[in-house]
Amino acid sequence: MEKSMKILVVDDFSTMRRIIKNLLRDLGYNDTAEADDGSTALPMLKNGTFDFLITDWNMPNMPGIDLLKAVRADEKLKSMPVLMVTAEAKRDQIVEAAQAGVNGYIIKPFTADTLREKIDKIFERVNAGA
Amino acid sequence: MDGTPTDSTRAALRDRQLEKAKRLVALIESGDDDAANRLIEELGRMHESLLFEQLGKLTRDLHDALNAFRGDSRLMEIAQSEIPDAKERLNYVVAMTEQSAHRTLNAVEESLPAAENIARQADELAASWDRFRRRDMVADEFRALSREIAGFLETTAEDAEMVRRNLSDVLMAQDFQDLTGQVIRRVIHLVQDLERNLVGLVRISGERLAVPEGRGKPGKQTEATGPTVAGTAGSGDVVTGQDGVDDLLSSLGF
């Protein structure tokens, strides 16, 4: 797993973005950027060189599930690993995210260990598949 | 409007009352007491029928307003599930913020003594180190200082790790802001929804109740429009005599 990879963190709460960024830095990932909802994240993804997307679900304007679908529908972005970090815990929602092609799903509140574990798992699979 | 036919009914009633009153005067002047008494009773009943008509209308307004309230499923939903739901959600906010505050305080309470300890020991060692550099120290003292420094480095490494762990915990404890923020936004949304629905209900009720209220005020609405004529504007909403009033009241459970 590349510690130099560029990660976009999308959450409408700045506190949660800071928490995730701090945890990522703790795990050795220093190249991160933030967006406060899907509609600001999507142009950043399209015009940027991000390797990994971490997104919340429940956000104004464009929720995370729509962002995920937009990423999967974009020729350039479709293979980007996406981790959803959200308080949405309904069975239907998790199934929907899975069907939309999410790579990992973390329920808030979560621990630093869970985040590390899921990121490791995602990139194990990505690298095995590559 | 509801007021117009009722006003015309009242005008018709007034005409009939006036006609009966004239007859009453004639009967009393002619000395026919029995007929005069019957006519007085009749006049009383006419007044009663007007009262019943108004009472019936008020009852119907109340009935309709209550039905409108019952029929508003959004309000029902809010009252039956979302308000109790909101209470639970706000309890969750209280519990989450309390938990986060304790988690933060625990980390601080554990870290502060360690930080104070490191500072105090560093001060003591600095004083000894200063003496050593000024060559103001015998060999035995230096050996003791050497042991102290080794011990200090060991405990400092342990303490720093503990402080790092606690700071991470303080970091994670801030997740309450996101979680409770989402919940509070939902409750704000519910309160706005409730307000909108209540305003709607007041408006519906206000339209119904504005008619009897307006009746007492001078204005076009209260002017007599003559007898009610079937098939004319406003004739549809008028009760037809006492039977109509009785039917209406019985339909309302009277």
Does the beta-carbon distance from B175 to A22 stay under 8 Å? no
| Strand-strand pairing, A7-10 and A32-35 | parallel
Chain A residues touching B177 at Cβ < 8 A: 13, 15-16
Whether the predicted model's global pTM rises above the 0.95 cut:
no
Encoding tokens for residue A20?
């995730």
Percent with pLDDT over 90 in chain A: 80
Cα separation, B59 vs A30, whole angstroms = 73
Q: In chain B, which stretches have pLDDT less than 50?
A: 1-4, 211-235, 239, 245, 248-250, 252-254
Query: What is the pLDDT at residue B242?
Result: 56
Interface test with B, best of A11, A14, A19 (most B CBs within 10 A): A19
Does the beta-carbon distance from B177 to A15 stay under 8 Å? yes
Query: What is the pLDDT at residue B6?
Result: 63
Q: Evaluate whether A62 touches A38 at the Cβ level (below 8 Å).
A: yes
Q: Using a CB–CB cutoff of 8 Å, tell me whether A26 touches chain B.
A: yes
Does the beta-carbon distance from A23 to B171 stay under 8 Å? yes
Encoding tokens for residue B229?
């004529």
Does the beta-carbon distance from B177 to A108 stay under 8 Å? no
> Distance, in angstroms, between A48 CA and closest chain B CA?
27
Q: Evaluate whether A83 touches A54 at the Cβ level (below 8 Å).
A: yes
Give me the residue from A22, A26, A87 closest to B182, CB to CB.
A87
Query: What is the pLDDT at residue B43?
Result: 82
Interface test with A, best of B182, B185, B188 (most A CBs within 10 A): B182
Cα separation, A25 vs B220, whole angstroms = 77
Cβ-based neighbours of A80, under 8 Å, separated by 6 or more: A45, A50, A51, A52, A53, A71
**Residue-wise pLDDT tens digits, B84-118:** 888 888 999 999 999 999 999 999 999 999 999 99
Cα separation, B109 vs B86, whole angstroms = 34
Query: What is the pLDDT at residue A90?
Result: 85
pLDDT in tens, chain A (130 residues): 568 899 999 999 999 999 999 999 989 999 999 999 999 999 999 999 999 999 999 999 999 999 999 999 999 999 999 999 998 888 888 889 999 999 999 998 898 899 999 999 999 988 887 6
**Residue-wise pLDDT tens digits, A108-128:** 889 889 999 999 999 998 888
Interface test with A, best of B93, B171, B178, B183 (most A CBs within 10 A): B178
Query: What is the pLDDT at residue B244?
Result: 54
- Mean pLDDT, chain A, rounded, equals 93
Question: Which chain A residues in 57-86 lie under 8 Å from chain B, judged by CB atoms?
Answer: 58
Show the DSSP H helices in chain B as ranges. 3-30, 33-71, 73-77, 83-133, 139-173, 176-215, 241-251
> Distance, in angstroms, between B197 CA and closest chain A CA?
24
Cα separation, A46 vs A76, whole angstroms = 8
Taken in order B170, B171, B174, B179, the sign of the CA dihedral is: negative
Q: Using a CB–CB cutoff of 8 Å, tell me whether A27 touches chain B.
A: no
Query: What is the pLDDT at residue B230?
Result: 44
Query: What is the pLDDT at residue A67?
Result: 98
Q: Which amino acid is at B252?
A: L
Q: Evaluate whether B177 touches A13 at the Cβ level (below 8 Å).
A: yes
Question: Which chain B residues in 141-200 lie under 8 Å from chain A, judged by CB atoms?
Answer: 168, 171-172, 174-179, 181-182
- The ipTM of this complex is 0.78
Does the beta-carbon distance from B172 to A87 stay under 8 Å? no
A28: left (phi over 0), alpha (psi -120 to 50) or beta: left
